[in-house]
């Protein structure tokens, strides 16, 4: 049932089709199982998850709104406010910390002229600090979307931002 009440932002036909396709994996009475993928499809289309969009996901899956909010606010891959085109995730966990992750982080802040959890004025970059990325052998590490940047130095960070700015 598409949501169209007040305080709802209707899910697009494309997103509803994506969700329906995904839900075929689960028993009909287990629509709740599709919440992560449903939120992922919505975020891919809108950039981040507004409350009206999350409410529409809840309606569409037939689950309580709180069940959707819990998932959207628990996982770091979901955004409930606007973010930059590129999310710069700098690992500062133990292995990276021992390999100067603080220097990596401060160089990113200086280059972008923002602090943690802020977005550059041009909307290109959001800077975050994250837990272990599973790339400890090549610490310090940064993740941007699906790509890993490892053994980071100030020079490699500069090259990374050049690459991202020019969409290479
Ligand atoms: S501690 Fe940074 S990747 Fe594992």
In-domain check, residue 67: yes
| CB-based contact 9:53 (threshold 8 Å) | yes
- Cβ–ligand 1 distance for 93 under 6 Å, the answer yes
Q: How confident is the model at residue 9 (pLDDT cuts 50, 70, 90)?
A: confident
Q: Which residues pair with 127 in a beta bridge?
A: 88
Range of the domain at 46: 13-74
| CB-based contact 98:92 (threshold 8 Å) | no
- For ligand 1, mutation pick of 90, 132, 143, 151 (most atoms within 8 Å of CB): 132
Cis peptide bond upstream of 140, omega within 30: yes
Whole-number average pLDDT of the chain: 93
- Cβ–ligand 1 distance for 143 under 6 Å, the answer no
In-domain check, residue 101: yes
Distance (Å, whole) CA 12 – CA 19:
11
Q: How confident is the model at residue 58 (pLDDT cuts 50, 70, 90)?
A: very high
| CB-based contact 81:95 (threshold 8 Å) | no
Distance (Å, whole) CA 138 – CA 93:
13
**What single DSSP character describes residue 119?**
B
Helix (H, G, I), strand (E, B) or coil at 122: coil
**Helical ranges in 65-115 per DSSP H:** 65-74, 94-98, 101-112
60 lies in the same domain as 111: no
Q: What CATH number does residue 143 fall under?
A: 3.40.30.10
In-domain check, residue 8: no
93 lies in the same domain as 51: no
pLDDT at 119: 96
pLDDT at 6: 56
Taking only the tens place, the pLDDT of each residue in 104-127 is 999 999 999 999 999 999 999 999
In-domain check, residue 3: no
pTM score, whole prediction: 0.81
- Interval between CA 98 and ligand 1 midpoint (Å): 10
Residue in the structure block whose two tokens are 């800077």: 127
Total Cβ atoms within 10 A of residue 142:
24
- Cβ–ligand 1 distance for 139 under 6 Å, the answer yes
| CB-based contact 150:138 (threshold 8 Å) | yes
Q: Does the pLDDT at position 168 exceed 80? A: no
By DSSP bridging, strand 142-144 and strand 147-149 are: antiparallel
- Cβ–ligand 1 distance for 135 under 6 Å, the answer yes
- Interval between CA 109 and ligand 1 midpoint (Å): 19
- Cβ–ligand 1 distance for 94 under 6 Å, the answer yes
């Amino acid at each position: 049932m598409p949501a169209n009440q007040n305080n709802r932002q209707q899910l697009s036909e494309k997103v509803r089709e994506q969700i329906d396709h995904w839900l075929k994996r689960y028993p009909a009475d287990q629509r709740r199982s599709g919440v992560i993928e449903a939120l992922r499809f919505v975020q891919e289309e809108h950039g981040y998850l507004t409350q009206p969009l999350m409410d529409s996901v809840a309606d569409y899956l037939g689950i309580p709104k709180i069940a959707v909010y819990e998932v959207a606010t628990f996982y770091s891959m979901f955004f409930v406010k606007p973010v930059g085109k590129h999310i710069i995730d700098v690992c500062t966990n133990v292995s990276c910390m021992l390999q100067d992750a603080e220097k990596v982080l401060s160089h990113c802040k200086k280059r972008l002229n923002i602090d943690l959890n802020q977005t550059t004025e041009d909307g290109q970059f959001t800077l975050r600090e994250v837990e272990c990325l599973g790339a400890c052998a090549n610490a310090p590490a940064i993740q941007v979307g699906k790509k890993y940047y490892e053994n980071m130095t100030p020079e490699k960070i500069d090259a990374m931002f050049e690459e991202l700015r020019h969409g290479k």
